[in-house]
Each structure stands twice: as C-alpha cells, then as structure tokens.
C-alpha cells in the first residue's frame, strides 16, 4: 500500500503526541510507531546559549525532504510518515524537528526514522546559528553526522 | 540565472540573491564559483575555500562538476546543520 508522507516546514511549534496519534488513529494495520524529536539544548559545547536561529532554503527544504521521505518509503514498508522541521528562533527546551514513522513491525519503523534523521542532518538545507552572550555564530557541520548518513548508502 | 546564498555565504557576500549572466565559458558549478570570486573581495572571501561550499541547482543538490546550462536557480551554501 502506498502512503503519502506529511511534510511540514514551519516556524511554529508542533505537538508531538498529536502527530503520533494522527498516524495510528482509526487503524488496525499499524503495529509500530516510532518518533524522534530533536530538541534545542541549553549548551553548545560547554557554553550556555540563549537560542538557536535556524535559516532554511524555502522550496528546496520541502523538495529535499520529500525526496528523502520517498527514499525511506521505497526502502521500508511504512504505513505512515510525518516529518516536521522548524525554522526561525528556537529557545532551549523547544522542539526543532520531528520524524514519526508507522509500520506493521518495529524494525522498519526504527530503521526508517534513523535513516531520515541521519539524512536530515546532512542533506536538508537548514543552517543553525547559536545565539549567546558573546553574540551569534554559525554551528559547524560535524563529521560524525556525515559518517552516520554514509552508512545508509547502498553499495 | 538567479543565484541564492545562504548562512555565512550569504553574510560574506552581503546579499541573499541576485541575477547574474556569466559568460558561456563558465560551464560548471566550480567554474561559476571561480567566476563569482572575481567579482570582488566579498565574493572572494565567501568562496575562499570552494571545496567546503555546497551547491544546488533548481532545488536539488549537485556536485561541483555539474553543468549549469539550463539552470534557473543556483544556490551556494555551507555544509548543512539541520535536524
């Protein structure tokens, strides 16, 4: 059965419980729902931060995440998929990103969620800037994120 | 063609987007970065390490050797840090 992914790029916060419920309510074919929520930490390295500012590339962000969602749906038997990524100013403790996967069995749901998060980190056109007492600075990409994404590459 | 810049590439150049008309001899993404670098100090600073810069053509990631002919919108940006 083919499913359409729900993809939202938004400035507003989202309700994790509501998004999870949306994928399974009224259904008896979904046996597993996995959700990952990325949350803004109050420190970056050892320095306290006031907030993150997320810049994104409107148009491409949607297109790229849609491509990643389609890839996930072609690799695992998913019965539902929701991806939400926020932009703008996000304070410590606030949500940044949500991936919810629904499947008949847990393995597909876990793996698809992990695959999507690894790809969002390295391929979705978003850039984080940290805001602290010392001003603002761009957060550098991490090589361990590239390595995490690379392990999903088909040989 | 329209060119867009994001994050510190945008800050260094001092604008988010512009329309450019590179000469026909500029055929690939890395040739376009070299051509843009010649437009002034701000551009040279933004593209000082071209291997670090990522590019997209019409909303899809491309490699530095990708052809730019027919592109409506080309974007340059640092490695992404979303998620």
User: Domains of chain A by range and CATH?
Assistant: 6-138 (3.90.1170.40)
- Report whether pLDDT(A7) > 80: yes
Helices A60-75 & A106-123, crossing angle to 10 degrees?
150
Nearest-Cα distance to chain A for B7, in Å, is 6
* pLDDT single digits (tens) B11-68: 999 999 999 999 999 999 999 999 999 999 999 999 999 999 999 999 999 999 999 9
Rounded Cα distance between A64 and A125, Å, is 8
Token digits for A11? 């400035």
Cβ distance of A121 and B82 shorter than 8 Å: yes
The rounded percent of chain A whose pLDDT value lies above 70 is 98
Contact call for B8 and A138, based on CB within 8 A: yes
Lowest mean pLDDT, pick from A71-85, A118-132, A141-155, B39-53: A141-155
In a mutagenesis test of the A interface, which of B2, B62, B82 is the best target, namely the one with the most A β-carbons within 10 Å? B82
Residue with tokens 């729902």: A33
- Give the up-direction half-sphere exposure of residue A86: CA atoms within 13 A in the CB hemisphere: 20
The percentage of residues in chain A with a pLDDT greater than 90, rounded to a whole number, is: 84
Judge whether residue A3 has pLDDT over 80. no
Higher pLDDT, A5 or A46: A5
* Candidates B6, B56, B82; nearest CB to A120: B82
Q: Name the pLDDT band for A2 (thresholds 50, 70, 90).
A: low
A59 has a chain B CB within 8 A of its CB: yes
Q: CB–CB of A59 and B8 under 8 A?
A: no
Q: What is the model's pTM?
A: 0.95
Question: Per-residue pLDDT averaged across B56-81, rounded?
Answer: 97
Identify the band that residue A154 occupies on the pLDDT scale cut at 50, 70 and 90. confident
Contacts of B61 in chain A (CB under 8 A): 64, 123
pLDDT for A45? 81
What's the pLDDT score for residue A155?
57
Q: What DSSP element (H or E) covers A118?
A: helix A106-123
pLDDT reported for residue A44: 85
Q: Coil, helix or strand for A12?
A: coil
Q: What ipTM is given for this predicted complex? A: 0.96
The torsion angle over the Cα atoms of residues B21, B27, B32 and B36, rounded to 10 degrees, is -40
Please tell me which of the candidates A67, A125, A129 has its beta carbon nearest to residue B80: A125
A140 interfacial to chain B (CB closer than 8 Å): yes
A77 close to B (CB below 8 A): no
Q: What is the pLDDT of residues A10-58, one digit of tens each?
A: 999 999 999 999 999 999 999 999 999 999 999 988 889 999 999 999 9
CA distances from B67 to A32, A60, B2, B24, B75 (A): 44, 19, 15, 12, 14
Does residue A135 sit at the B interface (CB-CB below 8 Å)? no
**Residue numbers of B between 17 and 76 with CB closer than 8 Å to A:** 56, 59-61, 75
| pLDDT at residue A90 tops 90 | yes
Q: Where are the domains of chain B?
A: 2-77
**pLDDT confidence band for A8 (50 / 70 / 90):** very high
Condensed to tens digits (0 to 9), the pLDDT of residues A129-149 reads 999 998 999 999 988 888 889
B10 contact partners, CB below 8 Å, separation of at least 6: B16, B77
CATH architecture under which domain B2-77 falls: Roll (3.10)
């Amino acid at each position: 059965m083919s499913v359409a992914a729900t993809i939202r790029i938004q400035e507003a916060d989202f309700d994790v419980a509501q998004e999870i419920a949306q994928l399974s309510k009224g259904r008896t074919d979904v046996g597993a729902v996995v959700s990952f929520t990325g949350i803004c930490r109050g420190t970056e390295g050892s320095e306290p931060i006031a907030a993150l500012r997320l810049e994104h590339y409107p148009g491409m962000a949607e297109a790229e995440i849609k491509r990643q969602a389609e890839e996930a749906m072609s690799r695992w038997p998913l019965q539902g998929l929701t991806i939400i990524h926020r932009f703008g100013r996000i304070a410590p403790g606030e949500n940044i990103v949500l991936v919810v996967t629904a499947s008949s069995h847990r393995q597909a749901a876990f793996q698809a969620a992990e695959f999507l998060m690894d790809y969002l980190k390295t391929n979705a056109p978003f850039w984080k800037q940290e805001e602290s007492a010392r001003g603002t600075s761009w957060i550098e990409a991490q090589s361990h994120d590239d390595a995490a994404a690379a392990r999903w590459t088909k040989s | 063609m329209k060119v867009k810049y994001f994050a510190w590439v945008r800050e260094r150049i001092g604008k988010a987007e512009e329309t450019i008309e590179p000469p026909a001899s500029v055929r690939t993404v890395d040739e376009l970065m070299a051509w843009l670098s010649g437009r002034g100090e701000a551009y040279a600073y933004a593209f000082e390490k071209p291997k670090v810069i990522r590019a997209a053509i019409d909303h899809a990631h491309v490699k530095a050797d990708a052809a730019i002919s027919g592109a409506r919108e080309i974007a340059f940006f640092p490695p992404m840090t979303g998620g």
